[in-house]
DNA sequence: CCGATTACCTGCACGC
DNA sequence: TGCGTGCAGGTAATCG
């Protein structure tokens, strides 16, 4: 589920319930996810008020009023869901679904909104590649986030900056775009989609999209634009839902219906008049989907 | 420094 | 029906 657009969608789903709410208690149902949960997590958060929900790259940040920031990463299979009312009368949730889900409910935040409504925010993660961290001095200062590159949102990432980042790199372009120290928030899906939109091959050496120093590169311009646009489009569509729900309210993202290449091996390229067939290769141990005809 | 590989963990689809 | 295999949106550690 979670690349930047999915995490942003989760943030927007949780925000109306969590911002301004007070944390009554926190249940940690196991001591660790990918890493041990923060020391005394429940004690640190109980009784505190949530001032804001933020996001940096694929990290969700839960800011505590006058206190620390809880940093959450969803890994590959992590999700949050919002519950209210008694657990025995959850509407629309079948028994077998509830029990299948509950086996991987690892952390539960019990909240009370300013109006008195009670909510449970449940973190579920079957594979436990997710993790939570507590940062005392702001999320950005935490070592795990300090080295992150530019956000592919807004207009910071332009052709000039992208060209500079790629210049001299011999790794495949796909691998460089996945490097969170350069651009923070892209994952396997959106790298594939951005490269298709830019008409660039994932196999090309990253440095070949850079112009000589001080000059502009049409390839870098096209790719920077494609990255910004695909991320914006995906956020607008509520992210992509593959095997899991992306949204805290259980609804589905829609961007998977817009995939041009991801998981489309053997299917026709969607670029008008291209006529190519989407291919799947493996790069650094992960699937890459692209059109060998129009992506050079 | 850079790039490639492996490890982490569970669930699911597939072929036999 | 069951079993082995491979694959899945993530990052960190390790090895050349």
Assigned token pair, A17: 């319930």
Measured in angstroms, what separates residue A129's CA from nucleotide B7's C1'?
A: 11
pLDDT digits (tens, 9 = 90+) for A237-249: 999 998 766 688 8
Least confident of A19-28, A30-39, A168-177, A212-221: A212-221
The integer distance in angstroms from the CA atom of A244 to the C1' atom of B11 is 11
Q: Who's near A209: CB < 8 A, 6+ residues apart?
A: A162, A163, A166, A173, A200, A217, A219, A220, A223
A152 catalytically annotated = no
Instruction: Answer whether residue A99 shows pLDDT above 80.
Output: no
User: Do A260 and A233 form a contact (C-beta atoms < 8 A)?
Assistant: no
| A12 closest CA partner among A50, A52, A45, A69 | A52
Q: Averaged over A59-78, what is the pLDDT?
A: 96
The yes-or-no answer on residue A202 being catalytic is: no
Pairing of strands A69-73, A118-124: unpaired
Rounded Cα distance between A215 and A236, Å, is 33
Looking at residue A242, its pLDDT comes to: 87
A44 CB less than 7 Å from any atom of strand B: no
Share the mean pLDDT of chain A. 92
Q: What is the pLDDT of residue A294?
A: 97
Q: Is A2 a known active-site residue?
A: yes
* pLDDT for res A62: 98
Q: What percent of chain A has pLDDT over 70?
A: 94
CA distance A277 to A264: 9
For A12-16, what is the mean pLDDT?
A: 96
- What does DSSP say about strands A69-73 and A131-135: parallel, antiparallel, or unpaired? antiparallel
* Higher pLDDT pick, A94 / A264: A264
Least confident among A83-97, A248-262, A278-292: A83-97
A22: confidence class by pLDDT, cuts 50, 70, 90: very high
Active-site residue (options: A11, A55, A56, A58): A58
Q: Is the pLDDT of residue A223 over 90?
A: yes
pLDDT exceeds cutoff 90 at A61: yes
Contact A186, A152 (CB under 8 A): yes
Identify protein residues whose C-beta is within 7 angstroms of any atom in strand C: A 1-3, 6, 34, 57-58, 73, 75-76, 127, 129, 144, 178, 180, 186-189, 239-244, 246, 253, 286-287
Amino acid A261 CA to nucleotide C2 C1' distance, rounded Å: 35
- A57-61: average pLDDT: 97
How distant is C1' of C1 from CA of A96, in Å?
Answer: 22
pLDDT, residue A11, reads 97
> What is the pTM for the complete model shown?
0.95
A100 is catalytic: no
Residues A175-217 pLDDT 10s: 999 999 999 999 999 999 999 999 999 999 999 999 888 788 9
A259-292 pLDDT, tens digit per residue, is 999 999 999 999 999 999 999 999 999 999 999 9
Percent of chain A with pLDDT over 90: 83
pLDDT digits (tens, 9 = 90+) for A139-158: 888 999 999 999 999 899 99
Q: Which nucleotides of B are covered by protein (CB under 7 A)?
A: 2-12
State how far the Cα of A2 lies from the Cα of A223, in Å rounded to an integer: 22
| Strand C, nucleotides covered by protein (CB < 7 Å) | 7-12
Q: What's the CA gap between A288 and A14, in Å, rounded?
A: 32
Measured CA to C1', the nucleotide nearest A179 is C11
CA of A282 to C1' of C16 (A): 21
pLDDT of residue A95: 47
Kindly report the backbone phi and psi dihedral angles of residue A77, in degrees, each rounded to the nearest multiple of 5, phi listed first: -130, 15
Cβ(A34)–Cβ(A131) below 8 Å? yes
Phi-psi region at A250: left, alpha or beta (left = phi > 0; alpha = psi -120 to 50): left
A96 touches strand B (CB under 7 A): no
Residue A18: helix, strand or coil by DSSP? Answer: helix
Strand-pairing partners, residue A279, are A290
């Amino acid at each position: 589920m979670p690349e930047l657009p999915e995490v942003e969608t989760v943030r927007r789903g949780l925000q109306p319930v969590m911002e301004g709410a007070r944390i009554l208690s926190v249940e940690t149902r196991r001591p660790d996810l990918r890493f041990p949960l923060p020391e005394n997590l429940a004690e640190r958060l109980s009784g505190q008020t949530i001032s804001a929900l933020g996001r940096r790259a694929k990290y969700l940040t839960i800011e505590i009023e006058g206190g620390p920031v809880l940093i959450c990463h969803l890994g590959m299979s992590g999700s949050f869901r919002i519950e209210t009312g008694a657990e025995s009368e959850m509407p629309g949730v079948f028994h077998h679904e509830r029990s299948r889900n509950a086996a991987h409910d690892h952390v539960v935040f019990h909240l009370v909104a300013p109006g008195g409504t009670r909510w449970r925010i449940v973190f579920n993660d079957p594979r436990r590649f997710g993790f939570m961290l507590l940062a005392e001095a702001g999320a950005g200062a935490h070592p795990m986030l300090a080295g992150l590159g530019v956000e592919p949102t807004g207009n910071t990432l332009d052709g000039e900056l992208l060209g500079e980042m790629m210049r001299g790199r011999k790794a495949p372009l796909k691998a460089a775009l996945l490097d969170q120290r350069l651009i923070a928030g892209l994952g396997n899906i959106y790298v594939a989609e951005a490269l298709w939109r830019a008409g660039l091959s994932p196999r090309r050496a990253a440095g070949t999209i850079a112009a000589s120093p001080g000059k502009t590169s049409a390839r870098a311009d096209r790719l920077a634009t494609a990255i910004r646009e695909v991320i914006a489009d995906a956020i607008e569509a509520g992210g992509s839902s593959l095997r899991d729900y992306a949204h805290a309210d259980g609804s589905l993202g829609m961007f998977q219906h817009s995939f041009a290449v991801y998981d489309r091996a053997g299917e026709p390229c969607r670029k008008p008049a291209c006529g190519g067939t989407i291919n799947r290769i493996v790069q650094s141990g992960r699937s890459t989907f692209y059109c060998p005809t129009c992506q050079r």
